[in-house]
């Protein structure tokens, strides 16, 4: 059962959601209570400086990338590829977030401060990782994110082997949507061509914010609840 942290002193519910840009605010902190409040209000953090460094920005995209129940696409080639891998949950959160934060990655935005913040949320039971292992028991890919009720907010994914990140997302879909509760939602922040091919769609900010309370009210997926 996740541990609820001390409440934040920041009013993240006061963001002007009518603004016609994705970035809605700058500042605050990355304390557990601040982060949980942000996600519950439809916001997520990402630094606005080079490489994701401060000042910290709080984002709510006008067009939100989401994966909804029944939308995930699995190609035949991926079904074959999955047989090469083994999947685990919360087995090595530190290794997954470190791989996602690799300074050599193009577009890197995960700083040491962000790593510490989400590691703390993992310790409290809110942040989770999916690991994908190859036949030599080496970490081939994975993802991490935050789970609040029926919302899984995906933060980042990586792969060292072809299709490993796709397998991680597939495993996440099986976990989050296992009970076919249509309130559930996987939030990927922004749609990319890679994610679109896997079933991610864009929805307007207003639609996302209407769906959000329903997703938050759904129970936490059983597999993550016991991880």
Please check whether residues 79 and 57 belong to one and the same domain. no
**Of 21, 39, 62, which residue constitutes the final position of a domain?**
62
Please check whether residues 81 and 38 belong to one and the same domain. no
Please check whether residues 105 and 51 belong to one and the same domain. no
What is the residue whose two structure tokens read 């910290």?
Answer: 56
**% of the chain exceeding 90 in pLDDT:** 86
User: What range does the domain containing 91 cover?
Assistant: 65-225
Whole-number pLDDT of residue 12: 83
- Reply yes or no on whether the pLDDT at 178 is more than 80: yes
Structural domain total, the chain: 2
Please check whether residues 142 and 38 belong to one and the same domain. no
pLDDT digits (tens, 9 = 90+) for 131-146: 999 999 999 999 999 9
User: Average of pLDDT values for 148-153?
Assistant: 98
Please check whether residues 38 and 150 belong to one and the same domain. no
Pair of tokens at residue 68: 């909804």
Pair of tokens at residue 10: 């920041």
Burial of 25 (0-12, 13-18, 19+ CB in 10 A): buried
How many whole angstroms from its chain centre is CA 21? 21
Q: Rounded to whole angstroms, how far apart are CA atoms 52 and 111?
A: 6
Residue 8 CB contacts under 8 Å (≥ 6 apart), including other chains: 28, 29, 31, 33, 34, 36, 37
Q: Rounded to whole angstroms, how far apart are CA atoms 221 and 142?
A: 18
Question: Which CATH number fits the domain that encloses residue 31?
Answer: 3.30.70.3550
Strands 185-189 and 139-148: unpaired
pLDDT digits (tens, 9 = 90+) for 24-76: 999 999 999 999 999 999 999 999 998 888 999 999 999 999 999 999 999 89
**Of 62, 82, 103, which residue constitutes the final position of a domain?**
62
- The answer for 52, left when phi > 0, alpha when psi is -120 to 50, beta otherwise, is left
User: Average of pLDDT values for 119-127?
Assistant: 98
How many whole angstroms from its chain centre is CA 207? 19
Whole-number pLDDT of residue 136: 95
pTM for the structure as a whole: 0.95
Total residue count of the chain as it appears in this document: 227
- Reply yes or no on whether the pLDDT at 21 is more than 70: yes
The least confident of 33-37, 102-106, 164-168, 176-180 is: 102-106
Residue 4 in domain: no
Q: Rounded to whole angstroms, how far apart are CA atoms 94 and 105?
A: 17
pLDDT digits (tens, 9 = 90+) for 179-199: 999 999 999 999 999 999 999
């Amino acid at each position: 059962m996740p541990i609820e942290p001390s409440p934040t002193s920041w009013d993240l519910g006061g963001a002007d959601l009518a603004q016609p840009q994705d970035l809605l605010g700058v500042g605050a902190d990355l304390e557990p209570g601040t982060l949980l409040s942000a996600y519950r209000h439809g916001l997520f953090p990402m630094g606005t400086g080079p490489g994701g460094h401060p000042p910290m920005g709080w984002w709510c995209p006008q067009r939100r990338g989401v994966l909804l129940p029944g939308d995930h696409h699995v190609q035949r080639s991926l079904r074959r590829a999955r047989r090469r891998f083994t999947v685990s949950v919360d087995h090595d959160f530190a290794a997954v977030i470190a791989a996602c934060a690799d300074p050599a990655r193009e577009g890197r935005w995960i700083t040491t401060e962000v790593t510490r913040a989400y590691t703390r949320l993992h310790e409290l039971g809110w942040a989770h990782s999916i690991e994908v292992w190859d036949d030599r028991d080496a970490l081939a890919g994975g993802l991490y994110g935050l789970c609040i009720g029926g919302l899984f907010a995906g933060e980042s994914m990586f792969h060292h082997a072809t299709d490993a990140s796709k397998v991680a997302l597939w495993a996440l879909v099986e976990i989050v949507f296992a009970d076919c509760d249509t309130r559930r939602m996987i939030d990927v922040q922004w749609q990319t061509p890679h994610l679109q091919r896997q079933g991610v769609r864009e929805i307007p900010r207003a639609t996302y914010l209407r769906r959000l309370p329903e997703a938050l009210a759904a129970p936490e997926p059983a597999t993550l609840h016991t991880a």
